Amino acid sequence: MSRLKKYSSIAVLAVVFVIALCVVLWAHQQYVVPIIMYHKVDDTADVSKLSVCPRSFESQIHFLKAHNYNAVKLEDVPDLMEKGPLPRKTIAITFDDGYENNYTCAYPVLKKYGIPATIFIVPALVGTEGYLTWDQIVEMSESGVITIGSHTMTHAWLPDLPEQKLDIEVFDSKRAIEGHLRKEVSSFSYPLGGFNSHVRDKVIKAGYKIAVATNPGKNYPNHDLFAMKRLRISRTSDNLFVFWIEISGFYTWLKEHRDED
């Protein structure tokens, strides 16, 4: 090989290496720890975007277990992030609103596979038709599989509330749940994903360790511990290939650049 060809080959390899390095660095910047969001697990998935049918839910949880995903408790995420980047295939599972089918349909599956999850409840709705009872909530909390978080006192839209009512939703909901569970409540979910800097500050002052939103937008930090981005799981995730893409850690970037701000 002539000296010119040798140098040309080295130059090509160098360019390929630089491009590959740039791709890796770019991918690292776009990666978002997948926090998935469920609401109902029942047979209304054909008519409700908030529902996942029980068969699909079990298939998804089995997929996580069979493919060695590191399912962690949401409230453990802050401590894990302090130690450095979370390993790939780390995932956290959440449920919003506290529907009764979280106990009857989701909880047995999560126990079966040993996969932890957080259920965000609304104290004012506990015991009403279609929602969890305190006995069910306490049982799940004591199991070690389910962690209970606050979804405010009444499921209010927080950004528009006056100061006193905002305190009730953020502070009093925490106290109410802790009074029943006899343990600390450290996670919070913004109803409908609604928050602003003032609401976020209230959540911090109330003593929560982590809070989740839905989709704050592509201009919002990926790993703000008090507005963590989540992915809603719906009927489209019945297809496990779609589910796999959604939990890859890069789907948030794809979704944010697909949707309009």
CA-to-CA distance for 236 and 259, rounded, in angstroms?
A: 17
Rounded Cα gap, residues 249 and 31, in angstroms: 5
Extract the tokens encoding 111.
Answer: 């126990």
Q: Say what percent of the chain tops pLDDT 70.
A: 81
Residues near 44 by beta carbon (within 8 Å), at least 6 away in sequence:
51
Nearest to 203, CA basis, from 176, 218, 185, 221: 185
* Residue ranges covered by each domain of the chain: 1-30, 33-258
Q: By the 8 A CB rule, do 73 and 104 touch? A: no
Reported as a single tens digit per residue, the pLDDT across 166-185 is 999 999 999 999 999 999 99
> How far from chain centre, in Å, is Cα 33?
9
What whole-number distance in Å separates Cα of residue 26 and Cα of residue 8?
Answer: 27
What pLDDT score was predicted for residue 252? 61
Give me the CATH topology for the region 33-258.
TIM Barrel (3.20.20)
The distance in angstroms from the start CA to the end CA of the chain is 55
User: pTM of this prediction?
Assistant: 0.86
pLDDT confidence of residue 22 = 35
Angle between helices 134-143 and 173-181 (to 10 degrees): 70
Average pLDDT (83-93) is: 87
Determine the Cα–Cα distance for residues 205 and 186; give it in Å rounded to an integer.
12
Residue 77 in tokens:
């995420």
On whether the CB atoms of residues 118 and 75 are closer than 8 A, the answer is yes
Give per-residue pLDDT as tens, 193-249. 999 999 999 999 999 999 999 876 666 666 789 999 999 998 888 999 999 988 987
